[in-house]
Amino acid sequence: MSRQPQTKDMTFVEAIRDATAVCLQRDPRTFVIGLGVPDPKGIFGTTLGLAAEFGADRVLDAPLSENALTGLVIGAALNGMRPILTHQRVDFALLSLEQIVNQAAKWFYMFDGRGGTVPIVIRLVIGRGWGQGPQHAQSLSSWFAHIPGLKVVAPASPADAKGMFIASVEDESPVIFLEHRWLHGMRGPVPTGYHRAALEKCLVARKGKDVTVVASAHMLIEAMRAADFASARAGIEMEVVDVRCLNPLDFATIAESVRKTKRLLVADDDSMHCGFAGEVVARVCESGIQLAAPPVRVTWPDCPSPSSAALAEVFYPSDRDLFVAVCKLAGRGAELATEFPKRPCPVDVPNLEFPGPF
Amino acid sequence: MTVSPKPATKRVAPKTQHAGGDLRSLFLEMLRIRVVERRIAERYKEQEMRCPVHLSIGQEAVAVGVCAHLKKTDKAMSAHRSHGHYLAKGGNVRAMIAELYGRADGCCGGRGGSMHLIDRAAGFWGAVPIVGSTLPIALGLALADKRRGGDEITAAFFGEGATEEGVFTETLNLACVLGVPMLFVCENNGYSVYTPLKPRRSPNFDFENYVRSHGSLFFSGDGNDVEDVYRVTGKALGAMRAQPRPCVVEFATWRYYEHCGPAQDDHLNYRSEAEIKRWAKRDPLAIARKRLTAANPKLEAEFDAVEKRCVQEIDAVIEAVRASARPSPATLQRGVFAP
């Protein structure tokens, strides 16, 4: 009988804070740096109190300088440290793409291993809602996953947030750690103390025989809600695969599921063109798995994310949209779409507790 | 040359580490680098070195004068024009030549070419061709050393073009804010590819003031006079020890060969005849040699002999490299992720 770890109920934010504290506690080589890390809000609470606990020289505030900070953590990592760099939005990290793409991602390969490894974690928050607009709500996860050498992870639960965070810090490769802002308030049981979760594995979050839905991070939450309704009302059993890690991709788990259901929907919080959803569809098609229906992608439309809630409502695919797409794949149940439960809160917030502004 | 594991009874060129500040050692080190690069230029037309090369012929004094102060455990990084820095820091010659020839035993296993030199055992932590990009990485190296309480120096070599990149200012500011003593070594050769300073800088640009206003130390010197480079670097390191903070040293110099490639390119007329003549008289090797031989004319014959032997040695290295294995195609995807 396997020993069940002790768990504690925590939010996603608390899980990341807890994971960071564990890393700082366990390994003196770890440090956290980024604009606002020790400030009174502590990166949405994920770094609150850490400076007091571990010292201002290990939990560092910094100038904005995203590119130099990225180079700094690369150099520190090459020279034996385990740095964690934070950005409060994905969009800000665009100022550091040179260091991320040209240097961090390639260093180990281009020097044929003789340059050393770059064990860094870059935390990026995907904004959404409350009018974040075109430059505070990008995902760009497909972009990052397109770069050889970058691991791209996107946890969907507090437990995974902690376990994958610790695994990311301990990984020898640079890791892009994507946090969807709407997951930050989510609660769940989280193993206490040291807890590592496998980085490069998909998880079957819900078993089903009719349609495979591949999703990650916040889209997984939408998929799970759609699956509840589909099962209860339409008798459609969705198998929901939590991708967790976009690169390297555990395609075997996806293939195994699709081989069983013969129907595939990929839901992705990112633009469609040249995106991750297309990649999964292509690989399924190339693998020769016989599909009973053409595969479907549900993603953001290929336009920037607008601010106004009126536009954001049609920009973001919802749980209901996923249900409709699944019905089409299964060839039944579409008439129930009008009965799909309405969101219990306005469309531009994750829940009624979310007060804005970012 | 520090090529063969068992050097000839009489060493033909100085050991690059602890080269010492005496002019003779500095000159011989410059001579060694000059010969290596001249032979690269001469043999480039054989079309076997199939990667871009940015030769530092004319700029050897900065590499040698700075690195003469560095111990093996001190660190250096550089950019696209890095042969001189790599060699002066003690980088393995054979691994560098093999890299230019795309061989498996190149310093990057044939993955980088001339623009990606590395020899961590010699304290040369890497060069990359994106202008300015090793500056923050070098700062990270220095930060890690500082945290461990070490007294190692990290020197980052860059051209004046890098100062036009945002990352230069970001790194300088970050180094000052973090109080990390890192040596920024600016080689100002006046050109970014073929573009002179005029369209790149306001006539009012005051580099020293700009650097100092961030809280950094600043020194400058004659980049074609190796004794001056050595003296100014010593002053800079002394000041950094007295007040642990970053320091920028700027050396005016000039490249004799084209921006990229094995030839001279003055037929393109992007540099004035007067400028070409002025710098032709300022060859850092000629300046040093003249000083040495004026004091001791017998050295002429000795230097000629050393040069001849350096040529033989580098040619032997080249022949050994040409006979060495290319990387196996099976290794193409090895190391995308660290194991």
pLDDT tens-digit profile of A124-176?
999 999 999 999 999 999 999 999 999 999 999 999 999 999 999 999 999 99
CB contact under 8 A, B142 and A110: no
Q: Which residues of chain B have pLDDT under 70?
A: 1-20
CATH of domain A203-339: 3.40.50.920
Q: Please classify residue B46 by burial: count the beta carbons closer than 10 Å to its beta carbon, then call 0-12 exposed, 13-18 middle and 19+ buried.
A: exposed
pLDDT of residue B190: 95
- The nearest CA of chain A is from the CA of B10 a distance in Å of 32
pLDDT in tens, A169-201: 999 999 999 999 999 999 999 999 999 999 999
Residues 132-191 of B with CB under 8 A from A: 133-145, 147-148, 166-167, 170-171, 173-174, 177
Q: Is the pLDDT of residue A110 over 60?
A: yes
Distance CA B247, CA B218 (A): 6
Cα A276 to Cα A101, A174, A184, A272, B35, distances in angstroms: 18, 20, 23, 8, 52
Nearest by CB: A68 against B110, B130, B174: B174
pLDDT of residue B7: 35
User: Residue by residue, what is the 3-state secondary structure of B16-51?
Assistant: CCCCCCCHHHHHHHHHHHHHHHHHHHHHHCCCCCCC
pLDDT of residue B2: 40
pLDDT of residue B11: 36
Please tell me which residue of chain B has the smallest CA distance to A97. B133
> With contacts defined as CB-CB under 8 Å, which chain B residues touch A99?
133, 136-137, 167
pLDDT of residue B19: 53
> With contacts defined as CB-CB under 8 Å, which chain A residues touch B173?
63, 65, 68
Distance CA A275, CA A280 (A): 9
Distance CA B182, CA B316 (A): 37
Residue A103's identity, in one-letter code, is: Q
Residue B307's identity, in one-letter code, is: E
Sign of CA dihedral A101, A105, A110, A115: positive
pLDDT of residue B1: 40
- The token duo for A265 is 């929907």
> With contacts defined as CB-CB under 8 Å, which chain B residues touch A118?
338
Q: Cis link prior to A248 (omega < 30° from 0)?
A: yes
Strands (E) across chain A are located at 7-11, 30-33, 59-60, 82-87, 121-126, 151-153, 175-180, 187-191, 203-206, 211-215, 238-242, 245-247, 264-271, 296-300
- Element housing A244 (H / E): none
pLDDT of residue A56: 96
Q: Please classify residue B37 by burial: count the beta carbons closer than 10 Å to its beta carbon, then call 0-12 exposed, 13-18 middle and 19+ buried.
A: buried
Decide: helix, strand or coil at residue A216.
coil
Mutation target for B interface from A61, A79, A176: give the one with most B CBs within 10 A: A79
Nearest by CB: B116 against A72, A110, A149: A110
Distance CA A48, CA B191 (A): 48
pLDDT, mean of residues A88-97: 97
Q: What is the ipTM of this complex?
A: 0.95
Distance CA B248, CA B213 (A): 12
pLDDT of residue A344: 87
pTM of this structure? 0.95
CB contact under 8 A, A71 and B140: yes
Please tell me which residue of chain B has the smallest CA distance to A172. B338
pLDDT in tens, B252-261: 999 999 999 9
Domain ranges of chain B: 23-89+116-320
Q: Which residues of A are catalytic?
A: 66, 136
Instruction: Residue A309: name the closest of A338, A358, A349 by CA.
Output: A349
Please tell me which residue of chain B has the smallest CA distance to A62. B174
pLDDT, mean of residues A315-326: 97
Fold assignment, B23-89+116-320? Rossmann fold (3.40.50)
Residue A226's identity, in one-letter code, is: A
Domain ranges of chain A: 10-191, 203-339
Taking an 8 Å Cβ-Cβ cutoff, which residues of chain A contact chain B?
57, 62-63, 65, 67-81, 83, 98-99, 102-103, 107-119, 148-149, 151, 171-173, 248
pLDDT in tens, A216-266: 999 999 999 999 999 999 999 999 999 999 999 999 999 999 999 999 999
Q: Is the pLDDT of residue A350 over 80?
A: yes
pLDDT of residue A2: 57
> With contacts defined as CB-CB under 8 Å, which chain A residues touch B330?
none
- Looking only at Cα atoms, what is the longest distance across chain A? 61
Fold assignment, A10-191? Rossmann fold (3.40.50)
